[in-house]
Amino acid sequence: MPNLRKTCLSLFLALASLTGLGAEAALAQQGPGVEPDRLSRASELEQGKGAVIISVRSELYLLAELNLYFLREGGDIASAADVVRFSRAQSQLALGNATTKHQPIAVQLAAGRYRLVGHGARCLKVPLPEERCLIDVTFAGIGETVSFPSRGYDADAPMIEVREGALTNAGDFALTARNTVEWSPIPADKMRNVERKLQGLPQGPAPTVSEQFKLKYPLRARSFSDDRGRRY
């Protein structure tokens, strides 16, 4: 029976995700903060801003968009304008979990320093340390309270610095089955296409990352279960 219940719950969550969970869930999926503008060439870079290359991955199958939140130094976490959001979603057309692959993008951000302050899926706010988002979902008259990945981070979390007119290689930030976001460099072969678009920009500083936030193991595709057997 336990295995049957897990199978039914997985199907329930997948169908609920495909059909939508209402207006509140749609807002939660978008998440707080501001998503930065994409860059397709260096000439698009605006005054006062720098270019950033970043990748977001997940070894957990994403039923909802994963959001990573960075707070600008000197800003207020309660102010949407001070929080930058980077996202990754699971393609509904993919067979299995496709979010373990690197997906570097180029964006532009106002010059400054930005610290990772949290990650979440279907969260209405930037989560606090150790906080997990609990979402009530209903499909075909059946209700279930589901735990979605989320966590907040303290002052020792990774920091990226953006300089006006320069290119910052922020690296890869991956959600692991430990419900932690861990950092690693983006492989050179995955960087070529996006770097080529931004040729001519001087290099900005490398990100500041402590040992505890460096990726400990290669990602492997998981389903809905984390390393403690919790399902979402």
Average pLDDT over residues 197-202: 94
| Residue predicted with more confidence, 132 or 186 | 186
Hey, which bits of 59-149 come out as E strands?
66-72, 83-88, 105-110, 112-121, 133-139, 142-148
Q: Is the dihedral of CA 32, 55, 204, 165 positive or negative?
A: negative
Contact 23, 70 (CB under 8 A): no
pLDDT at position 228 is 56
pLDDT at position 212 is 96
Distance CA 111, CA 82 (A): 12
Average pLDDT over residues 204-228: 86
Q: What confidence category does residue 3 fall into, taking pLDDT thresholds of 50, 70 and 90?
A: very low
Distance CA 206, CA 110 (A): 17
Q: Is the pLDDT of residue 77 over 70?
A: yes
Token pair of 133 as six digits: 């988002």
Q: How far is CA 20 from the centre of its chain?
A: 20
In terms of average pLDDT, the best of 61-65, 79-83, 211-215 is: 211-215
CA terminus-to-terminus distance, the chain: 19
In terms of average pLDDT, the best of 11-20, 29-38, 175-184 is: 175-184
Q: What confidence category does residue 64 fall into, taking pLDDT thresholds of 50, 70 and 90?
A: confident
Average pLDDT over residues 172-180: 93
The overall average pLDDT reported for the chain is: 84
Q: Is the pLDDT of residue 141 over 90?
A: no
Distance CA 186, CA 170 (A): 9
pLDDT at position 1 is 40
Distance CA 115, CA 186 (A): 19
Average pLDDT over residues 185-201: 95
Q: Is the pLDDT of residue 41 over 80?
A: yes
Q: Is the pLDDT of residue 164 over 70?
A: yes
pLDDT at position 30 is 64
Average pLDDT over residues 142-157: 85
Q: What confidence category does residue 222 fall into, taking pLDDT thresholds of 50, 70 and 90?
A: confident
Residue/partner pairs of 128-134 with CB below 8 Å, 24 or more apart: 128/152, 129/153, 129/154, 132/179, 133/28
Q: What confidence category does residue 6 fall into, taking pLDDT thresholds of 50, 70 and 90?
A: very low
Token pair of 62 as six digits: 């994403």
